[in-house]
């Protein structure tokens, strides 16, 4: 089950790992994504700090870590050629950004469910 932040990041948890990306709403707002700067494996992230940046033809956006943990993987396919376009084409799948080993699983409680996130973006 996907969980979301009000900053439009998503989290998909598998045991103690969380895969992170940006929502479909966010990629539409950004427009055509041309480049992404990803965190490196081994990097410790705290919830709320800048984890990476996404550059589109419109702007550059910082993506904040939705949960605390250690980066175990970044989606290197996004860095090759026009790979960053996967974020636009499949933001909840092939367009994922990075994965972390969760430091504090209780942080997941602060994230929005699909329904809560849908209500949130409708209200903005």
Domain that holds residue 114: 2-119
The C-alpha atoms of residue 12 and residue 3 are separated, in whole angstroms, by 7
The C-alpha atoms of residue 5 and residue 23 are separated, in whole angstroms, by 9
Whether 90 is in a domain gets the answer yes
Q: Which residues contact 71 (CB under 8 A, 6 or more apart)?
A: 39, 40, 41, 42, 43, 44, 45, 98, 99, 100
Q: What is the mean pLDDT of residues 96-123?
A: 96
The C-alpha atoms of residue 84 and residue 69 are separated, in whole angstroms, by 24
Here the CATH number for the domain that contains residue 26 is: 2.40.50.100
Whether 106 is in a domain gets the answer yes
Residue 73: both structure tokens together: 């993987």
Q: What's the structural domain count of the chain?
A: 1
pLDDT, position 81: 84
Whether 124 is in a domain gets the answer no
Q: Does the pTM of the predicted model rise above 0.85?
A: yes
Tens digit of each residue's pLDDT (9 = 90 or more) over 48-76: 999 999 999 888 999 999 999 999 999 99
């Amino acid at each position: 089950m996907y969980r979301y932040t009000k900053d439009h990041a998503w989290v998909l948890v598998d045991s103690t790992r969380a895969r992170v990306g940006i929502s479909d709403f966010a990629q539409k707002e950004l427009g055509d994504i041309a480049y992404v700067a990803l965190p490196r494996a081994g990097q410790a992230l705290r919830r709320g700090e800048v984890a990476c940046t996404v550059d589109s033809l419109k702007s550059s956006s910082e993506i904040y870590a939705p949960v605390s943990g250690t980066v175990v993987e970044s989606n290197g396919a996004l860095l090759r050629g026009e790979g960053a376009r996967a974020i636009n084409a499949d933001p909840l799948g092939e367009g994922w950004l990075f994965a972390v080993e969760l430091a504090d699983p209780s942080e997941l409680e602060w994230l929005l469910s699909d329904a809560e996130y849908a209500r949130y973006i409708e209200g903005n």
